[in-house]
Amino acid sequence: MKLLVLGGTEFVGRAVVEAALGRGWDVTVFNRGLHTPVPGTRSLVGDRTASGGLAALAEGEWDAVVDTWSGAPRAVHEAARLLRGRARRFVYVSSCSVYAYAPPAGYAEDAAVVEGAEPDAEKTDYARDKRGGELAAIGAFGAEASVLVRAGLIIGPYENVGRLPWWLTRIARGGPVLAPGPHELPLQYIDVRDLAEWTVGAVERELSGPYNLMSPQNHASMGELLESCVRATGGSAELRWVEPQVILDAGIEPWTQLPMWVPPDSEMHDSVYAADVSRAVATGLDCRPVGETVADTWRWLGAIGGTAPQRPDRTSKGLDPEVEAKVLARLDQDA
């Protein structure tokens, strides 16, 4: 197989490259050249947001293209149009955010979606831009030659968004840790390597259409995630489980200040942690245990000096230590 990855040096793109190389594929990456490409790839340099920035892609043929773009859909539109006729399949890594908010628990790929941003529009919001990217892929390659990977929460080695790395770093610091409850709160996510393996498998199987790509419901819980962090870091952290209403009353923002946590029985919880993934499972999705994801991410953090990279277009994650200490102290007073 000959694969072209638009990007291919960070997080999701890098994982796709490594999965394809692991199968012996011929892999080309196209990016701005700001990061060292994965060894074994052919590298083309260009800035897809600049005039003439796709010149390096003017020639060449591939079995498939994988695009992880999350900005204005113009970049997807122009790349897909340029590559139409020279690649057999276009895989766009989208997001479950494209579903109209808030989708009901158990929503499948036929749930209502947002209106996509126009191909020539400036950057709008994440959901509309991702849906616009989907439409750009379909518009150039057709529905039968397009794969829309509607990923949920993505974690694992090389994460540059700051969710799991923040929890690992916080727990490694030790002491009492505000653990957002309930302990059995179900999570639904995807290890970036499992996403990558399914994606290259989708190319081999010549799949098409949209797929919700995250672990099956109840694959792991908040308790299992944080307890795995304690084991991986080997520190002296003490998880102090705090009721959701106490957290909300303290003005702490779910998802951002406490990464990966949203209150149970909320619209947001159902939208990010209650998708139907049976279509992906039936086509080869296999999700590793949460402990393996956590341990491997901790080893990667150690190998790079303990500080994870951070995408400049994403907000910083994590809870201020003073806020955490105040909430825990208040609980001790009330005990």
pLDDT at 291 over 90: yes
Structural domain contains residue 335: no
> Which three-class secondary structure string do you get for the chain?
CEEEEECCCCHHHHHHHHHHHHCCCEEEEEECCCCCCCCCCEEEECCCCCCCCCHHHCCCCEEEEEECCCCCCHHHHHHHHHHECCEEEEEEEEEHHHECCCCCCCECCCCCECCCCCCCCCCCCHHHHHHHHHHHHHHHHCHHHEEEEEECEEECCCCCCCCHHHHHHHHHHCEEEEEECCCCCEECEEEHHHHHHHHHHHHHHCCCEEEEECCCCCCEEHHHHHHHHHHHHCCCEEEEEECHHHHHHCCCCEECCEECCCCCCCHHHHHHHCECCHHHHHCCCCCCCHHHHHHHHHHHHHHCCCCCCCCCCCCCCCCCHHHHHHHHHHHHHHC
Q: Tell me what pLDDT residue 332 has.
A: 86
Average pLDDT for 230-248: 95
Q: In whole angstroms, what is the distance from residue 172 CA to residue 27 CA? A: 37
Structural domain contains residue 71: yes
227 and 308: one domain? yes
Q: Tell me what pLDDT residue 176 has.
A: 97
Structural domain contains residue 7: yes
Q: What is the mean pLDDT of the chain?
A: 96
Q: Tell me what pLDDT residue 109 has.
A: 98
Average pLDDT for 88-109: 96
Domain containing residue 206:
2-154+191-213
pLDDT at 301 over 90: yes
189-234: pLDDT as tens digits: 999 999 999 999 999 999 999 999 999 998 999 999 999 999 999 9
134 and 181: one domain? no
294 and 169: one domain? yes
Tokens of 206: 């010549």
With 0.85 as the threshold, say if the pTM is over it.
yes
CATH number for the domain that contains residue 252: 3.90.25
For residues 65 and 1, is the Cβ–Cβ distance under 8 A?
Answer: no
For residues 268 and 262, is the Cβ–Cβ distance under 8 A?
Answer: yes
Q: Tell me what pLDDT residue 335 has.
A: 65
126 and 80: one domain? yes
| Domain count for the chain | 2
66 and 206: one domain? yes
For residues 32 and 47, is the Cβ–Cβ distance under 8 A?
Answer: yes
Q: Is the preceding omega at residue 182 within 30 degrees of 0, hence cis?
A: yes
- Among residues of the chain, what percentage have pLDDT more than 70? 100
Structural domain contains residue 282: no
171 and 303: one domain? yes
pLDDT band at 151 (very low <50, low <70, confident <90, very high): very high
Q: In whole angstroms, what is the distance from residue 169 CA to residue 282 CA? A: 36
Structural domain contains residue 293: yes
Q: Tell me what pLDDT residue 295 has.
A: 98
Tokens of 165: 């790395």
267 and 309: one domain? yes
Structural domain contains residue 94: yes
54-80: pLDDT as tens digits: 999 999 999 999 999 999 999 999 999
54 and 174: one domain? no
112 and 253: one domain? no
Q: Tell me what pLDDT residue 182 has.
A: 97
CATH number for the domain that contains residue 80: 3.40.50.720
Average pLDDT for 70-94: 97
- Among residues of the chain, what percentage have pLDDT more than 90? 91
pLDDT band at 311 (very low <50, low <70, confident <90, very high): confident
Structural domain contains residue 279: no
Q: Tell me what pLDDT residue 218 has.
A: 87
Q: In whole angstroms, what is the distance from residue 76 CA to residue 195 CA? A: 20
Structural domain contains residue 280: no
108 and 203: one domain? yes
163 and 205: one domain? no
226 and 105: one domain? no
